[in-house]
Chain A
C-alpha cells in the first residue's frame, strides 16, 4: 500500500519568514493533494498536482511535484498568522479510472509566531 511521509512533523516559524513542507511517497503519485486543517475543523482544499514537474501557486502558497512524481513540496512565502494550521498531503493510490479513498500523510503542524 502507498505510504506518505511528511516532514517536518511540526514547524514554528516567525511571521514573515518563508517555509517549506515536504511530502514523500513510497510509490508513484498519480494525484497529489494538499489540504489545510484548523483544529476541530474539516479539511480545506489547497491544490492538486498531477504531472511530473508541475507547479501551482495560490496567493503565497506554492506546491510542486517532482519529475519522478514521488515527492511534493509546499512552500509558503512571507508567512502570516492565517497560515497556521495542520497541512496534510493526500494521494490517490491508483492510476486510471475508478476512485478510492485518499491516503494521507500524518500532517505538518505549522505555528506562526508573531
Chain B
C-alpha cells in the first residue's frame, strides 16, 4: 500500500478483555516496529521484526503483551487481560531494510486503545 495502515483506529474495551491490534506495513518493507505513546511517557519502543525472524521481546511491558508477524508482512499486537494502564496510542512503523542510522521508519496513524 501507499503507507502504513493500522486497524482499528479506535478501540474501547473493558478491563480484563483481550485486544488485537493490526498493522499492515508499506509493501516491500522488511522491518516492522511497534511503539506505544501515552501521556507522560512519550513514545516507547515495544518490539521489532526483521522479516520473519523471531523478535526481541525484551521491550514488551509485560507478559500480557505478544506480537507476531505472519508471512513477513502483516503484524498483530495482542494484549491479554487488558488493564487501565494499557490505555495509549499504539503506533506501528515500517522501514525498508531495518539498518540502524541509515533507514527511515514510516509510521501508521495509530490505534487509540481505551481500557475502561
When the two chains form the complex, which single residue of A35, A44, A50, A104 contacts B101, counting CB atoms closer than 8 Å? A50
Stretch of A16-24, A54-62, A76-84, A95-103 that contacts chain B = A95-103
- The answer to whether B25 has its CB under 8 Å from any CB of chain A is no
- B100 CB, nearest partner CB in chain A, Å: 4
CB-defined contacts of B47 to chain A, threshold 8 Å: 101
Q: Assess whether B106 is in contact with A45, with CB atoms less than 8 Å apart.
A: yes
Q: Assess whether A99 is in contact with B42, with CB atoms less than 8 Å apart.
A: no
- The answer to whether A88 has its CB under 8 Å from any CB of chain B is yes
Q: How large is the interface on A (under 10, 10 to 19, 20 to 34, 35 or more residues)?
A: 20 to 34
When the two chains form the complex, which single residue of B45, B103, B109, B110 contacts A103, counting CB atoms closer than 8 Å? B45
On whether A101 and B99 interact (CB within 8 A), knowing A33-B105, A43-B91, A45-B106, the answer reads no
- The answer to whether A92 has its CB under 8 Å from any CB of chain B is yes
Q: Which residue of B lies closest to A98 (CB)?
A: B100
- For the A-B complex, the count of residue pairs with Cβ-Cβ distances under 8 Å equals 75
On whether A97 and B100 interact (CB within 8 A), knowing A41-B110, A42-B109, A102-B105, the answer reads yes
Measured CA separation A93–B101 after assembly (Å): 8
On whether A50 and B107 interact (CB within 8 A), knowing A42-B91, A100-B45, A105-B42, the answer reads no
CB-defined contacts of B100 to chain A, threshold 8 Å: 30-31, 92-100
Taking A102-B45, A104-B42 as known contacts, 9 extra A-B pairs with beta carbons closer than 8 A to each other, sorted by chain A number, are A31-B102, A33-B104, A41-B110, A92-B100, A96-B101, A100-B100, A101-B59, A102-B105, A106-B42
